[in-house]
Amino acid sequence: MLVESPPDRGAEPRAAAKPAGRGSHRAAGLLLSLGVLALVCVASVVVGAKQVPLGDVWHGLFQYTGAGNDVLIADVRVPRTLLGLLAGVALGLAGAVMQALTRNPLAEPGLMGVNAGAAAAVVTGTTLLGTTSFLGYVWFAFAGAAVVSVLVYVLGGGRSATPVRLALAGTAATAALYGYVNAVQLLDSAALERLRFWTVGSLAGADAAVVGAVAPFIAVGVGLAAAVARPLNAMEMGDDSARALGVNLTRTRVHAMLAVTLLCGGATAACGPIVFVGLMVPYLVRAITGPDMRWILPYAAVLSPVLLLASDIVGRVVARPSELQVGIVTALIGGPVFIHLVRRKRMSQL
């Protein structure tokens, strides 16, 4: 008589333990990333083009009197750090959403022309229409980002777009728009002087008013990005599979592009066009978290401001007593990374 062997009771728990263990590792990594972000924020307040004793930093933060270095710490470096934090979150989430939406690992607000569209619209508003306040030209940034997002998507082939075609369309749009920006600035010397730091991406000159004005727009963008995380996961498997899972493709695409527009428009209006942050961080995060957008978005929201603020600190230190704008530093870091990604065998086959 054949006797069936008893089932392996430990097989199922062990199989279920692997995802649970991976989830705990992801959570631990996210907590570690938050700790790194906190350290970088502290360093951004302490370190700058001008060396300030730690005692003065403490005094400026907690015993503000308006004398000595109090103004530098509380009114300059703290808003600058907060703006870098907000802009980093915005650019990281925008890059992650764009990569998932277009299924293009090279998608990034700077490379896809979104930042250039916002910059061109802001330059138009400030030079031709005389808009000078942040609340005045932030709407130009949103409009420019939205129009160029749609234009690049259409030029890239729409629903039949490939990663290469989207990248080429974005590169062409970026070149044309920055050519327009440079032409306007050369023809208007006042505009050139007013916008020369903004157009390369800078956190210098940030104040509490700008931080308070941009925060609501970025907060709404963050909420929209979080809301489309699950639908984007389904769309990674293809449109037909996503429909079978009950995903409304049109609504998801609209919400995702609205999130990108709010995030990129707000960050660009406040800091200028900063490139490669939205490319490098989400791409590297995927190697840590896998393709799950529910983990990619939190990691990108934490690690992108780490990169942006660290780049800003480097720019303030290497060029003392002057400063190197953060957009230049991120471009110097991101250029070689982008070339490496393009040269990878997997990328060459896209």
Among the listed ranges 166-170, 203-207, 292-296, which one has the minimum average pLDDT value? 166-170
Mean pLDDT across the chain: 83
Token pair in block for residue 237: 């498997």
**Which of the two residues, 291 and 10, has the higher pLDDT score?**
291
Token pair in block for residue 274: 């900063």
Domains plus CATH for the chain? 53-343 (1.10.3470.10)
pLDDT digits (tens, 9 = 90+) for 229-267: 999 999 888 878 888 888 888 888 889 888 988 998 889
What 8-state DSSP symbol labels residue 158? G
Among the listed ranges 19-28, 116-125, 158-167, 196-205, which one has the minimum average pLDDT value? 158-167
pLDDT digits (tens, 9 = 90+) for 45-83: 999 888 888 888 998 899 888 887 889 999 999 999 999
What 8-state DSSP symbol labels residue 236? T
Residues 184-202, mean pLDDT to the nearest whole number: 73
Nearest to 30 by CA among 307, 295, 305: 295
Determine the Cα–Cα distance for residues 71 and 87; give it in Å rounded to an integer. Answer: 23
pLDDT recorded at residue 161: 63
Nearest to 142 by CA among 263, 236, 22, 32: 263
pLDDT band at 178 (very low <50, low <70, confident <90, very high): confident
What pTM does this model have? 0.84
Phi and psi at residue 96, to the nearest 5°: -65, -45
5 neighbors 45 (Cβ within 8 angstroms):
no
**Which alpha helices (H) appear in the chain, and where do they start and end?**
11-46, 54-62, 70, 78-102, 114-127, 134-155, 163-187, 189-195, 208-227, 229-235, 239-244, 249-271, 277-289, 293-318, 326-343, 345-348
Cα Dmax for the chain: 97
Residue with tokens 């920055």: 178
**How far apart, in Å, are the Cα atoms of 301 and each of 127, 295, 323, 337?**
33, 10, 26, 20
Q: Determine how many CB atoms are found less than 10 A away from the CB of residue 41.
A: 18
pLDDT recorded at residue 102: 79
Spell out the residues 6+ positions from residue 148 whose beta carbon is closer than 8 angstroms to its own: 113, 114, 116, 117, 118, 173, 177
Is the pLDDT assigned to residue 90 strictly greater than 50?
A: yes
pLDDT recorded at residue 257: 84
pLDDT recorded at residue 155: 83
Nearest to 293 by CA among 338, 250, 252, 234: 234
Is the pLDDT assigned to residue 12 strictly greater than 50?
A: no
Residues 175-202, mean pLDDT to the nearest whole number: 78
